[in-house]
Chain A
Amino acid sequence: MNPAMWISKTGVQAQDAKLQAIANNLANANTVGYKKDRVVFEDLFYSVEQQPGTQRADNNTLAPTGVQLGNGTHMVGTQKVFSDGSAQITNRELDVAVVGNGFLQVRRPNGEPAYTRAGQLNKDANGVLINAQGLPLVPQITIPDGATSISIGDNGVVSVTLRGQNQPQQVGQLTLSSFINPTGLLALGENLYQETQASGAPTEGNPGDAQFGTLKQKALEGSNVQVVEEMVDMIAAQRTYEMNTKVLSAADNMLQYLAQAAR
């Protein structure tokens, strides 16, 4: 059979996967702390049918070029692009945005840590700071009863003013975790990421120190999806898909001519 058909198939499949990633990015264009996915392709291995430089049998000249046929394209993987999203000012006391490197750490119900950039914090019944899904922050911070205002500094220090007192009182310190290769984190959904072998171990520290970014209270980090960019990518993916199917039908036509020639 005509190998061009299978080669075009890899192209069609690749664009299919890309469209799926684009659809997911667009669906999350308004998700706080969402990082866009990017699909990365590479060309598949080549079949060398004739090595360049082989000696021709009839005389002593060398073949200047050979025959190498590619086998199509291959999806290396999807990459999360960890560029900063735009900041949205919300004026809610318990909203924090991470500006720069770093993730907030939360504890999942099974005790394992997870990391997030979405800083819509809440208090549970006991005053413990939790994220939007209800997972407690690590290190745990409890806001005492009767706190009239909460302030979170750029360096992560959480202080509260209690009713009847005029001096704010420090109740905890928000920390950030950073990874040498955040692209290697496993996306768990719910804006959460999990450490993997590829991401390396997390380094914990206070916001503003060393490689860590700072925290901004009363703001949230929006998604870093650029809607126009996604739309352009979508058009390109659709047309590339179409062109690959055209080659598919051209390859099919050739087989048809062949079948008709041999009666």
Chain B
Amino acid sequence: MDALIYTAMSGAERALRGQQVHANNLANMDTTGFRANLELSTAVQLPGYGYDDRHMSNMQANAINGRQGTLKSTGRELDIAISGDGYFAVQGPTGEAYTRAGAVTLDADGTMTVNGMQLLGEGGPITLPPYRKIEIGQDGTVSILGQGATAEMQVIDKLKLVKAETSELTKNEAGLIVARDGQPLNADTTVQVRSGHLEGSNVSAIEEMVATMSLNRTFEVQMKMFKASDAMTEAGNRLIGG
């Protein structure tokens, strides 16, 4: 059998699976703090007999896009966003992980959580006593106007904020951001927090739609190659059959 059909197959499979990445990005266009996944493909040379012109396509998809999403003003005291680079640290199911989502809620004990995971401060999870007003500063300092009659803000803790090169980060199975080497990142004091804001997803609708269209057509081309390969084999069969 001619090898052409297998080469075309690798291209078709890559288009099919690449579509999944873009479908996932578009499905998460409204997910707070979502980082778009990048889909890349590389050519893998397959040494053949006599001639070395077959290159299968191999898809890779675990890099993330570090572009900043749009900041939306919500006016809610517990909504926080990072302007510029950086991540919030949360206690994920498998240890410390990072996220840009900042719609903080409190659980029944007053512990700060994001999407059900505890938000980490410099001293671990942050538990707030009953308060009248809360303020989250630009450097991540959490202060409250507590029960007492005094009109003084009292500092509770400081959010753990980290920064890393996007190329050194990847997503884990839960969709949280982790370092590629699996090590926890160190706190960084240059990360800037904006309270009363949420960061939207950084998915670009245009890029995703264009990629979807282009993959769709790539797939069509591969199918044409399938047909061509089929026609060639059929012609060969006719020669033998007479």
Contact = CB atoms under 8 A, between A and B. Distances in A.
B and A form one assembly:
yes
Interface in B155-172: 170-172
B132 A101 contact: yes
A42 B101 contact: yes
A247 B180 contact: no
Contacts of A262: 226
A250 B216 contact: yes
A237 B173 contact: no
Contact of A42 (B20, B74, B115, B172): B115
Contacts of A211: 130-132, 146-147
A243 B110 contact: no
A interface: dominant SS: mixed
Contacts of B205: 239-240, 243
Interface string B76-120: 110000000000000000000000010101111110000110000
A181 B130 contact: no
B81 to A, nearest CB: 14
B153 interface: no
Contacts of B32: 40-42
B227 interface: yes
A95 B115 CA distance: 37
Given A2-B19, A197-B108, A257 B220 contact: yes
B205 to A, nearest CB: 6
**Shortest 3 CB-CB contacts between residues of A and residues of B:** A11-B27, A70-B24, A200-B108
Interface of B: 12, 15-17, 19-32, 34, 37, 40, 59-63, 74-77, 101, 103, 105-110, 115-116, 128, 130-132, 146-148, 170-175, 180, 205, 208-209, 212-213, 215-216, 219-220, 223-224, 226-227, 230
